[in-house]
Amino acid sequence: MAANGASCEQPQKRAAAKDKHNGKSADSSVKERRQKDKEDRLSLVVWRRPVTTLHYFLLETLIKLKEWTLKLWQRRGIVFSVLVLCCLFSIAYSTEGAHQQYVAYLEKRFLWCAYWVGLGILSSVGLGTGLHTFLLYLGPHIASVTLAAYECGSTDFPEPPYPDQIVCPQGGGLEGSVSLFSIMSKVRLEACMWGAGTAIGELPPYFMARAARQSGADPDDEDYEEFEEMLEQAEGAQDFVTRAKLGVQHMVQKVGFFGILACASIPNPLFDLAGITCGHFLVPFWTFFGATLIGKAIIKMHIQKLFVIITFSKHIVEQMVSLIGAVPRVGPSLQKPFSQYLEAQRNKLHHAGGSAPADENWLSWVFEKVVLVMVCYFVTSIVNSMAQSYAKRLQQQRHSEEKTK
């Protein structure tokens, strides 16, 4: 009897081992297929396959427009209410009366805030490579206000032309009346609006991960797939980047609101992972968004704003120009354009509406071209990303057809 029992157990063990081996080989083949598909998608870029990339981009755009139209139709009550409010505002805007001064003020403030919120969203929403709008727009704006405040001796710039153009007030300011806090107060609105925009831009990863966890569906997102793989391989993580990602994930998961606040309050390229983690573990929306908004729009923005203001304060700028001139051989030739640029900015502050000099400073020219190149690269990365999303749709459709055969 014992011999018969042992002989029966042996085939069962062999069958279990065979099933385990088949499971491992199936998993490896799935991983290899996913890796190959990913490589094929990443090769779909404008500079390699322009016709196919643009074709897929247009098709993906049409699909997205259809999806957004259906979502708006499902929320047609909200859409109708917004349209009614817009009609009322339009009537108030076009009707003459004493209220027009308040309408004009609100319009100016709304457009100014919407501009900076939009730039903040573009910086963090995850379209293509993301547009570094702090370096391109907000940072230079804070630097311009700082330089102008020290030159004019005041932050009470005449409006208009401020904020489109900074001009010193007629009477000038008192010596020593400009302080760090007065400059921070002058740029607080635009800085906080930009920070709020970056917080709004962090919501898509959160909603995507939350919807995937609740529905159990496989989301069409590379970052979420990497997040799930990272959770599976957490024990054997060796490289620094993976350990850093796991550290962010553990902090957000264990500490909650204050963990999210800590991650959002410092420049953190891994914060997308915090949004995915919060969505995956079903952290309440206002816990995530409240901590993110406070961290990015208040704490982090004041740190970045303080850094830019200190860097471009009058004595620091003069010291930097002097240090450039002290560089052996090339120092004087590099110092000259910087000095010319600062002198041109001072003249512009004291002469409202004056014509620009014919020999435009090459620093301004270089900065304009850098901004243009970065915007073009950003747009190109969006085209590539959407084309790759459509390619992934085709790959998933092909694999589902293969399974049904």
Q: What is the DSSP code string of 219-252?
A: -S-HHHHHHHHHHHTSTT--SHHHHHHHHHHHHH
150 & 218 share domain = yes
Q: What is the pLDDT along the chain (405 residues), one digit of tens a residue?
A: 445 554 555 555 555 555 555 555 556 676 777 778 777 887 888 888 888 889 988 998 898 899 889 988 988 889 899 999 889 888 888 888 777 788 888 888 888 899 999 888 888 776 545 567 887 888 888 888 888 888 787 888 877 777 777 777 776 655 567 778 888 888 899 999 999 998 888 888 788 777 777 665 555 555 556 655 655 555 555 555 566 666 666 777 677 788 788 878 877 666 667 777 777 777 788 888 888 899 888 988 888 888 888 877 777 776 676 777 666 776 677 766 766 666 666 666 555 444 444 444 566 677 777 778 877 887 888 888 888 888 888 887 887 777 776
Query: What is the predicted pLDDT for the residue at 210?
Result: 79
- At residue 80, the pLDDT reads 92
| 90 and 220 within one domain | no
pTM: 0.69
pLDDT at 282: 78
Residues 324 and 320: their CA atoms lie apart, in Å, by 6
Return the SS3 of 112: helix
- Residue that terminates a domain, selected from 311, 330, 363: 311
164 falls within a domain: yes
Show the tokens assigned to 210: 């939350």
> Which of 311, 330, 349 is the C-terminal boundary of a domain?
311
Same domain (yes/no): 160, 295: yes
Tell me whether residue 363 is in a domain: no
Asked if residue 151 belongs to a domain, the reply is: yes
Looking at the fold, whether 85 and 222 belong to one and the same domain comes out as: no
Are residues 78 and 190 both part of a single domain?
Answer: no
Tell me which of 290, 311, 332 is where a domain ends. 311
pLDDT of residue 122: 83
Q: What is the pLDDT of residue 58?
A: 92
Cβ neighbours of residue 340 closer than 8 Å, sequence gap 6 or more: 361
Note down the domain range covering 168: 104-311
- Are residues 217 and 292 located together in one domain of the fold? yes
Residue 250 in any domain: the answer is yes
Question: Does residue 216 sit in the same domain as residue 303?
Answer: yes
C-alpha triplet 194, 368, 317: angle, nearest 5°: 75
Whether residue 206 is found in the same domain as residue 307? yes
Q: Name the domain count of the chain.
A: 2
Q: Answer for the pair 270, 244: CB distance below 8 angstroms, yes or no.
A: yes
With beta carbons less than 8 A apart as the criterion, state whether 122 and 313 touch. Answer: no
Question: Does residue 229 sit within a domain?
Answer: yes
- Report yes or no on 182 lying in a domain: yes
Domain identity same for 120 and 196 = yes
Q: Both 253 and 274 in a single domain?
A: yes
Is 390 a domain residue?
Answer: no
**Are residues 86 and 138 located together in one domain of the fold?**
no
State whether 78 and 119 are in the same domain.
no
Q: Is residue 336 part of a domain?
A: no
Report residue 64 as tokens. Answer: 């997205």
Contact assessment for residue 222 and residue 237, using Cβ atoms and an 8 Å cutoff: no
Rounded CA-CA distance 111/88 in Å is 18
